[in-house]
Amino acid sequence: MNFLTDEENERYQRQIVLKSIGKEGQELLKKSRVAIVGLGGLGSISAMYLASMGVGFIRLIDKDVVEVSNLQRQILYTVHDLASPKVEVAKSRLEAMNPYCKVEPLSVFVSPKNIKEIVEGVDLVIDGLDSFSSRFVVNKACVQKNIPYVFGGVLGTLGNTSTFIPYDDSPCLECIFSKVRDEELETTETAGVHPSIIGIISCIQISEAVRIITGKKPLLKGKLLFGDLENLDFQSIEIVKNPSCPTCSKKRP
Which region, judged by CB under 5 A, interacts with Zn ion, from 54-62, 123-131, 217-225, 239-247? Answer: 239-247
Question: By C-beta, is 101 or 245 nearer to Zn ion?
Answer: 245
CA-wise closest residue to 109 among 86, 92, 126, 91? 86
Query: Is 245 near Zn ion (CB under 5 A)?
Result: yes
Residue 20 to residue 242: CA distance in whole angstroms: 33
Query: Is 47 near Zn ion (CB under 5 A)?
Result: no
Q: 168-197 mask for Zn ion (x: CB under 5 A)?
A: ----x-xx----------------------
Residue 177 to residue 43: CA distance in whole angstroms: 21
Which residues have a Cβ under 8 Å from the Cβ of 205 and sit 6 or more positions away? 42, 46, 126, 127, 150, 151, 152, 161
Which region, judged by CB under 5 A, interacts with Zn ion, from 13-21, 49-57, 102-110, 244-252? Answer: 244-252
Count of chain residues binding Zn ion (CB under 5 A): 6
Query: Is 125 near Zn ion (CB under 5 A)?
Result: no
Which region, judged by CB under 5 A, interacts with Zn ion, from 5-13, 204-212, 225-233, 241-249? Answer: 241-249
> What does the binding site for Zn ion look like in residue numbers (CB under 5 A)?
172, 174-175, 245, 247-248
